[in-house]
Chains A and B, each alone.
Chain A
């Protein structure tokens, strides 16, 4: 039950988030990044990663990045948003775009409200560019290309810098939510003129919300089976602008970029868009991915998380030799077991930058992340940079201590309830911040309930200096609804990290990405030998290995058949003919961490000279080896 979205609205990414704000980093064991100080010296780019960036500011920072590091950085655009804003990215490369060189794609700010995630992604790019030195073979860019698209949802981010402030995640071309033939004619509005759009508590006998007994600033939905009756309807701050007796039910824009991808797309759900890929940002992003078969790994800073809480998993498909022959079960958003184990390992390696567990979904329906994994077969490492904790920091209070309920009964009725009394004008003073009596109360109210998540968040809030994130409920005489209360969580309150934590988060993200190079699959020829069996008959043996953490392709990639297998070619001297084996073969699967594939040929060779073995991949390097045939 999420009190913030009482009318069944689900604003993905607003509710959930994870925390990624520690001071230390866990790097993959093999990584040896440069010391921080060294990198800082070489970077003329402002190190400040605490700002929320407008689209213009983001663009300027990208230009500055390229200006400062022209040798490794170049910008690109993947297309335009619905409103015509260019979606920019930066490509970082050591300039050697060799065949099979893997690429990592970093994407931020897909959900509209995750504006700071663009800053995180940008910081990653800045740090990677600034730290590169051509002679450092261990540097990320010596192994891989890095594409960073800091902000996919440029239209959505615009709302962060618009007054009144509103965070409903809306982008897209508009949806006729109330299906009256008009689009966006009755959106939320800043009724009380405080510059932000929050919530309204409207007293109503049909209302389903009542005060949370643990904190009356929060509200909970009634449970009739416990004898509760509702007090309020809780509505988005707004008017009934179109005269249909409904308030703020048709915002100007509603299609969500973060729900418009084809994997698990929710048909006939207004916020998801009319069909998958309808939003130009989504199509541009998909086309970018399709045009880059060298992508080996995707990292997102957004509102989903698959490293903290772990996604739902399902068994690997059965089948031999990389060909799945089992029944075709429809994709369900679950991660195949082997891939989930990889996520666990990445999660372990990233654990130091994740301070608290998060409830952010992994692979929500219609998300970019789910599409990348389920349909394209690429592993995504998805970080939710921050979400407001649902309990106070442990140093503050160990136990949840609810507000004393003086009514002693378990039923809150409008006349008895202090909040309602306040709203009725019976009690003049607003109830927040909590009174001292409430703070010091030691008895749990006589209720079957546990404190709601919002009550927990408020507890965290009260212990922080982030009080502006909650707008105290204020009585207001609404021109259409009469006496209401306006207040609640301020826009972006639940998802935007506190200023003090931002630099730490951005630094940690950059360090994590910088440390990814050793994890990328790398094809190697472990051995390539020829043995003479008879006068002209040679046995040729080769072993191909991958000693990185990531396999040549994920199980999802093998299932989706979207990752191109490695191609192996045996190059023979003239006047040779193969007695057994094929000169060209495909390597479909090769596990990580010592995954090995062996090949044997019998070849009739008239002129013993050199043999060659070439292996090419799209995303795991190439390998070539020669072998001199030695008569024994």
Chain B
């Protein structure tokens, strides 16, 4: 008897790609020439929602922009409130999904967030841009349509909305407002947040202080540019400078002899996640226990309850990096199979993101215990990256100007007409006497100037899309029925994953994270019996089977289907009739197929 498999069809409608050019309501959209230009070309269709992508905005404006998108694409974008920040701002996660191809939870999803450090504001815009770009191109671009047919996105623009709000509203420098705003007694004097830096000159910026101390200092003024202080070289002649730096603008508010030592908050929400979490004396900013702050707690709960998240992206702002874990050397290296996937996406990222380096946190940057990106991968088994969005060397991308003070002033003078620098001006300080206050503003150094913001956002959105496209896409490639002695049949089914990210990361399978994929066969009682099942070990010798223990009709697949991998299972059946074989997994759309054995 020859092969008797006859019918083969795709049972799950979810699996079918949506017809190109249909919007979720089913109305057909014509693709005119005017549409073609949008994905990145300047002439052509204008976006439906205009958002000025050369601006950075406070929290309410980010939500407002996302709400405009939700109003334009009401079936595609919606939000839920996960909780509230310490300061009472809603923690909104926006779900972007094409409901015509199934609910968001039925598809592998990408999580994208930003701004966990309050001062790292442009991460918020990067999240909004990604949503906007996908929506604007939906039904206009085949790749976007394909992506949204088989995946969904959970987007949380601000992990730390309070820090963001303060960065816009209050006096800050580029590095402050990193923390959340829960009052914290950093100097352990029983008082909370009582000694912040102070905007002594009332200009809305926290700048630097310097003092003229002729013959007693450590620095001299650059004779070419007195805005710049040059350290005195080490010498054996007793030669000293005329100036000293006195640190960040501020006074000793609580009279304890230290300046600016107990500011607002004073912790780091990117050290509070339950992945190799360590207490404060090991990891500054970690808080008293993992997920102590409500912002992190509500996000962790969401992620844990959404096992379909297969990709994770977090946006930070300083350095130009595509970072992955481990956060600490003692974790050891990630499993080799996962590293290959990381490397592939990371290297593409370096192509998409000039100046960015694909790096390993502990090895190439510094050790991080309890990092969010570590939680995503090391605890939840999700491929995860952190991008550091900006690098001030980008002001002069060809390298002819660098990051020296001289070059930074040159760029500020010539590209921003000096807007980024507050020139030194005198101030009568209660402790130090006559000092000068000056320096670069908070929006220089860690965030790009207006004319470079859009480029940064676009390149990172496309990196997210590149990553999302790598999420598992499982198909049933082949089913084949053959005769076995004794009137039995063998049904060989090959399940494949077309994409780089495995349905279960190697780490997830090693650590037993989540639920294994499951290969199942449904038979009609009395017609077909499942006698046994085994994984095919050899393409040519079909008797080489790794027979499964337990129920042969429902087989857990702990390792999932690997990166662009396949698994062939042989079911040994008695009787005839239609059977339905299926793959189900947390991080892919379930697929099934009916096979008739004659």
Q: Which residues of A contact B (CB under 8 A)?
A: 176, 179-181, 243-246, 262-263, 265, 267-268, 270, 274-277, 283, 286, 290, 324, 328, 330-331, 371, 374-376, 559-562, 564-565, 567, 582, 584, 586, 616, 618
Contacts and interface: CB of A to CB of B under 8 A. Distances in A.
Given A276-B274, A276-B277, A565-B188, A584 B288 contact: no
B279 A262 contact: yes
A561 B281 contact: yes
A561 B188 contact: yes
B145 to A, nearest CB: 31
Given A179-B515, A276-B274, A564 B304 contact: no
Nearest to B514: A179
A330 B282 contact: yes
A616 B277 CA distance: 33
- Of B185, B274, B512, chain A has the most CB atoms within 10 Å of the CB of B274
Nearest to B279: A375
Nearest to B381: A268
Contacts of A286: 288-289
B399 interface: no
Nearest to B508: A268
B278 A330 contact: yes
A495 B279 CA distance: 32
Contacts of B189: 564, 567, 586
B147 interface: no
Contacts of A263: 279
Contacts of B378: 267
A623 to B, nearest CB: 16
Given A243-B551, A267-B275, A176 B515 contact: yes
- Of A244, A262, A324, A374, chain B has the most CB atoms within 10 Å of the CB of A262
Given A331-B282, A616-B190, 8 more contacts: A181-B518, A244-B550, A267-B511, A276-B290, A283-B289, A560-B279, A561-B280, A584-B257
Contacts of A560: 279-281
Which 6 pairs, one residue from A and one from B, show the smallest C-beta to C-beta distance? A275-B274, A268-B511, A375-B279, A181-B515, A245-B550, A564-B188
B238 interface: no
Contacts of A561: 188, 280-281
Interface of B: 185, 188-190, 255-257, 274-282, 288-291, 300, 304, 330, 378-379, 511-516, 518, 549-551, 556
A228 B282 CA distance: 48
A180 B512 CA distance: 11
Contacts of A267: 274-276, 378-379, 511
Given A180-B515, A561-B188, A276 B289 contact: yes
A290 B290 contact: no
Contacts of B300: 275
Given A180-B556, A276-B274, A276-B289, A330 B188 contact: no
A262 B549 contact: no
A527 B549 CA distance: 79
Contacts of A180: 515-516, 556
Majority secondary structure of chain A interface residues (helix, strand, loop or mixed): loop
B278 A331 contact: yes
25 contacts: A180-B516, A180-B556, A243-B550, A243-B551, A244-B551, A262-B277, A262-B279, A265-B274, A265-B277, A267-B511, A268-B513, A275-B290, A276-B277, A276-B289, A286-B289, A330-B282, A371-B289, A561-B188, A564-B188, A564-B190, A582-B257, A584-B256, A586-B188, A586-B189, A618-B190
A79 to B, nearest CB: 14
Given A275-B379, A277-B289, A564-B188, A179 B516 contact: yes
Contacts of B274: 265, 267, 274-277
B113 to A, nearest CB: 18
Given A276-B290, A290-B288, A375-B288, A328 B281 contact: yes
Nearest to A376: B288
Nearest to A617: B190
- Of B276, B279, B378, chain A has the most CB atoms within 10 Å of the CB of B279
A375 to B, nearest CB: 5
A478 B305 CA distance: 38
B189 to A, nearest CB: 6
A192 B96 CA distance: 54
A325 B515 CA distance: 45
B83 to A, nearest CB: 15
A330 B278 CA distance: 8
A274 B304 contact: yes
Contacts of A616: 190
A265 B512 CA distance: 17
A584 B278 CA distance: 32
A347 to B, nearest CB: 26
B510 to A, nearest CB: 9
Contacts of B256: 584
Contacts of A277: 274, 289-291
Nearest to B186: A561
B550 A328 contact: no
A343 B279 CA distance: 23
Contacts of B512: 179, 268, 270
Contacts of B275: 267
Contacts of B518: 181
Contacts of B290: 262, 275-277
A181 B517 CA distance: 10
B289 A262 contact: yes
A567 B190 contact: yes
Contacts of A331: 278-279, 282
Nearest to B301: A278
A272 to B, nearest CB: 11
Nearest to B369: A330
A559 B516 contact: no
Contact of A328 (B277, B282, B289): B282
A276 B379 CA distance: 11
A318 to B, nearest CB: 14
Contacts of B185: 564
B330 A330 contact: yes
Contacts of A268: 379, 511-513
A348 to B, nearest CB: 30
Nearest to B291: A277
A243 to B, nearest CB: 6
A584 B549 contact: no
Nearest to B189: A567
A616 B282 CA distance: 28
B293 to A, nearest CB: 12
Contacts of A270: 512
Nearest to A558: B281
B513 A559 contact: no
A376 to B, nearest CB: 8
A283 B293 CA distance: 12
B511 to A, nearest CB: 4
- Of A270, A330, A374, A584, chain B has the most CB atoms within 10 Å of the CB of A330
Contacts of A586: 188-189
B244 to A, nearest CB: 22
A428 B130 CA distance: 76
Contacts of B279: 262-263, 331, 374-375, 560
Nearest to A243: B551
A181 B514 CA distance: 8
A246 B551 CA distance: 11
Contacts of B255: 584
A267 B513 CA distance: 10
Nearest to A371: B289
A105 to B, nearest CB: 16
A186 to B, nearest CB: 12
Contacts of B513: 268
A330 B329 CA distance: 12
A188 B514 CA distance: 23
- Of B190, B255, B304, B516, chain A has the most CB atoms within 10 Å of the CB of B190
B414 to A, nearest CB: 44
Contacts of A290: 288
A480 to B, nearest CB: 13
Contacts of B282: 328, 330-331
